[in-house]
Structure 1
């Protein structure tokens, strides 16, 4: 059994290496295209083969953590940035950009450091890592835990794990290239509205890339028909629909199951509710709005309720939780074996 697991892990590492080499080669090509082909549809045509390949590469990986992370970085972030680059927009179009920075900006959630930035203390990430380890242990007793409480644990698990992964990427980027990680979260639990949650606190990296690729083009298209007051509404709704479809794609990379579009329904529901919230805010004066100590719990309750009904069940349907816990166990065995070999060598 251990030999089979070792062989599978070795095969996955080889596949990851192939993906890295392929991505590096593709980005060399994109960097060169940017030097010789002007921005516009013509450059987009030259970049379409790379965009297509980036949609395929995550399928070469099988583990939950690698397929999901690589899918997110390549199929979503890198492809959207390349689309912006085709029209001389976005971070890749920075003048006189070097290739190392071009490659890092293309496929990682980072931005060029403009000024000193406050960094979360490493002990905070250590505490969150410990919390994830404790939750993984608690899952051994999942049969004794109420399903709703288990869903809440999954929510915090995803939140903490994302922060840890992105903090690791930030440390590498900062050390090698002097680049700064785009902020990912800003205390989402303190959100006082859906607009506050999605626009300023949760997954800010995705907000940053969706704004110029989906929101702003939709806003410009709707402006002649709806005017500046109401044009943002279809732009917001369209952004949530695209986000839902991209989440379906990431879920497919991880689970390889036919999509049910429940996750898209989750984002569509939030898009509709956020649109309604914007309309109500414009219709009501500030004195008629709920105070923060009421709107905060209502926002958190709505997010948790819809997440447990539409978002997290898709992860469980794909057995992502079970597979992820097995990967944690395999990693633990690997670390244990390496430590044992190290001390025996001494």
Structure 2
């Protein structure tokens, strides 16, 4: 906890530095050069941490998202630039930099909003319950087939990311009085790879990769046919995503990559590019029924995940360390509860 607090304090100081620099240095190369020490620090900060949860969260939020946001900010683009002429206030600037959120103006709460909030509370309560149950199931993982254990990992990752991102959004919403867009949109209902990656799975990542990788690539290859430049933009986005995932697993597992995760994203990038090209060619004349499209998409994502993406968790003993941290947190909570009870 001490190392985590120290690291995040330095992160906040670094972001405050970039905020001040931007007040005096116009967008462009000079601002980018002045941001270089922050970029470098954000890439090495996970190495100062020791627990899987702190490393994973910091690597994702700071080494990846915050760095990419600052890169856009140096060029006068991205979510850190206010939609009006006035700059964001420092607290809002820090919130948007630190967390995977996209802020938009919120209408006043209505009855339907309150109902949906109750439904959301029930939904997340169920997810927490499932996570707790899964930690119990892991105790019997030695008796389960390897693919079944990896499938549990996949469910665990989705539930964990959904909860972490939603809790983050709730905290920031309470602190800033702003409405925050959800980061997942029922990815299990995706009807295509383009739908899964572009509109349903971890929208914070797709939202930051679009202006940092996809759009510049499309502009770079604008001399080609527009359809080809978009396909190259999509594939380049998956390449960068694969590299960043390999980096995060390096932080978490402390091992050099075997590039299976990279191959996962290359395959998905290639197939998504082909899918987009085919859709352009047929122009809506050929469509699978929605139910079949959902089954095929889910099957493809799960099969490739079990083959290439999820085995990295076994290779780095990541889930074993996660369970150890859960157990330790449970012990601390139990001791804290007994201490409070004795004092009362």
Class of the TM-score when normalised by the shorter of the 2 chains: over 0.9
- Specify which of 5, 17, 25 is matched with residue 5 of structure 2: 17
CA deviation profile, 1:75-132 (whole Å, cap 9, x unmatched): 1110000000001001212133111111111111123331247656212111101101
Preserved contact between residue 111 and residue 179 of structure 1 (Cα < 8 Å): no
1:29-108 alignment runs, 5 A limit: 29-94=17-82, 95-108=86-99
The CA deviation string for residues 183-218 of structure 1, in whole angstroms up to 9 with x for no partner, is: 211111111110111111111110000000000000
2 CA distance for matches of 1:106 and 1:288? 42
User: What's the counterpart of residue 211 of structure 1?
Assistant: 210
Q: Which segment drifts farther, 310-319 or 20-29?
A: 20-29
Give CA-to-partner distance per residue, 1:48-70, whole Å, 9 cap, x none.
11011000111111111110001
Query: What corresponds to 1:7 in structure 2?
Result: none
How far apart, CA to CA, are the structure 1 residues paired with 2:330 and 2:104?
A: 35
Q: Counterparts of 2:171 and 2:220 in 1: how far apart (Å)? A: 40
Kindly report the root-mean-square deviation, in angstroms, between the aligned alpha carbons of the 2 structures.
Answer: 1.3
Runs of 4+ in structure 1 deviating by more than 6 angstroms, as ranges, are none
CA distance in 2 between counterparts of 1:294 and 1:174 reads: 38
Q: Residue 192 of structure 1 contacts residue 295 of structure 1 at CA under 8 Å; is this kept in 2?
A: yes
Structure 2 Cα separation of the partners of residues 287 and 152 of structure 1? 36
Give 3-state SS (helix, strand or coil) of 1:198's partner: helix
Q: Which residue of 1 aligns with 2:315?
A: 317
Please name the residue that 1:151 is paired with.
Answer: 150
Shift of 1:344: 0.8
Matches of 2:267 and 2:288, distance apart in 1: 21
Q: TM-score, normalization: structure 2? A: 0.94
CA distance in 2, matches of 1:285, 1:227: 17
The answer as to 2:257 corresponding to 1:222 is no
Is 1:112 aligned to residue 103 of structure 2?
A: yes
Contact residue 182 and residue 205 of structure 1 kept, 8 A: no
Q: Distance in 2 between matches of 1:121 and 1:293?
A: 25
**Counterpart for residue 110 of structure 2:** none
**Alpha-carbon offset, residue 283 of structure 1:** 2.2
Kindly indicate whether the alpha-carbon contact (under 8 Å) linking 2:104 and 2:181 is maintained by their aligned counterparts in 1: no
Aligned length: 333
Q: Which residue of structure 2 aligns with residue 3 of structure 1?
A: none
User: What are the ranges of 5 or more consecutive residues in structure 2 without an aligned counterpart?
Assistant: 108-112
The alpha carbon displacement at 1:285 in A equals 4.7
Aligned to 1:124: 123
2:239 maps to 1:241:
yes
Q: CA contact under 8 A between 2:246 and 2:259: conserved in structure 1? A: yes
TM-score (norm 1): 0.93
Deviations 1:282-334 (A, max 9, x none): 22253422221212111111100000010000111000010000000001001
Task: Check whether the contact 2:106–2:178 (CA below 8 A) recurs between aligned residues.
Answer: no
Task: Find the partner of 2:269 among 271, 279, 290.
Answer: 271
Aligned mates of 1:213, 1:65 — CA distance in 2:
27
Work out whether residues 166 and 182 of structure 2, in 8 Å CA contact, stay in contact via their aligned partners in 1: no
